[in-house]
Structure 1
């Protein structure tokens, strides 16, 4: 589950955006204060993306964006009523990665967030003795490459992206293009069983993939 920081001083708008983002499956930290947002970013190293307004108290959103860029490369989406080309150019010059002019439909913000997270997805991830190179689509145990099928690799990445939270078989099937709908739910367990075997994992004493009764699976680490 991606963790987002929302900086928005219109509390009614902030509440609406937080509701939509949480319904979409994101974890959200929200603040109306640019100063507090800087403190959050320095204290919490697991923020995956920042959404910020331009008209803020204490400092302008452009200045906040500039300050964030002095210590963080976390992707930034500017969400503002200032939709003219001058402000857009200034936003990109101060380090924003995307610019969304209000009013907009929440589904567009969610689509842009997902696109941005895909762009900035880390190329390498390490969990104990399991290391994964996303761009090369490689998984290694103790430095040795394990031969995963495309479907097994995609399931592993999907579980990792939603780690510590159980995901249903339906969600896995819906997210993996290689799984045919007519056999998806029946085949999920087979794919996971094969994936566990290749990872050296155990259903009874799981290290990586845990079965969640009546729901599906979750990545443990």
Structure 2
């Protein structure tokens, strides 16, 4: 889980960004002045800093300079200012990006994912369930749970085909291959194990008796 430090003295704005990014499965730390920001930078293993310019005690410019003098972690500057001088100054100090207020949270998320090289095709997130097909891992209520390769393959196939009815035969052919000669009930066994690991989200995998299975991401 990527750890992001929000440095913002507007408490309501900081809280809004924190909640939004936390729901996107980031670990979030929040500070409201420059001194706290420097302390967190030196004492936490951060992946990215969202940095306001106008701060008590130490300005965002000075914090950015301090960070860049000691680390290559990404910095996105946040400010109400929108003139070219401020943007150029931030970039010259080593900031990786610059976003102006009022902040569009979806645009902010897209920029964070781009900078952290988070590939949306490999990571699925919806209402609390996160699945990373690269690490064969799901996160349920913040708890990381490892999946077996077959559990991961089936979940990934369900997600790519959400809303469609998938027969046991279809799943066998897609996951095990057309030349599979074993018992087709292996599908039921794998899905049973997968549901157990998904916890409160297990109902997303629906059984359609005599037909097959489907994935409904609106469940739970």
Q: Distance in 2 between matches of 1:172 and 1:79?
A: 38
Query: 1:158, 1:172 within 8 Å by CA — same for their partners in 2?
Result: no
Where structure 1 has 5 or more consecutive residues not aligned to the other structure, the ranges are 122-153, 192-209, 217-221
Residue 209 (structure 2) aligns with = none
1:34-183 matches, cutoff 5 A: 34-45=34-45, 47-118=46-117, 155-157=133-135, 159=137, 165-166=144-145, 173=156
* 1:39-80 deviation per Cα after TM superposition (whole angstroms, max 9, x unaligned): 1121112x1111010010111111110011111110001111
Q: Distance in 1 between matches of 2:32 and 2:158?
A: 34
Where structure 2 has 5 or more consecutive residues not aligned to the other structure, the ranges are 120-131, 177-192, 200-220
* 1:63-104 deviation per Cα after TM superposition (whole angstroms, max 9, x unaligned): 110011111110001111111111000000011000001112
Q: Distance in 2 between matches of 1:28 and 1:53?
A: 15
Residue 14 (structure 1) aligns with = 14
Q: Distance in 2 between matches of 1:76 and 1:175?
A: 36
* 1:173-208 deviation per Cα after TM superposition (whole angstroms, max 9, x unaligned): 3898xx55555x957x958xxxxxxxxxxxxxxxxx
The 1:74–1:167 alpha-carbon spacing in structure 2 relative to 1, beyond 3 Å, is: same
* Number of equivalences: 160
Q: Distance in 2 between matches of 1:38 and 1:26?
A: 20
TM-score when scaled to structure 2? 0.61
Query: 2:138, 2:145 within 8 Å by CA — same for their partners in 1?
Result: no
The 1:71–1:190 alpha-carbon spacing in structure 2 relative to 1, beyond 3 Å, is: same
Q: Note the C-alpha offset of 1:21.
A: 0.9
Secondary structure of 1:6's counterpart equals strand
1:206-221 matches, cutoff 5 A: 213-215=196-198
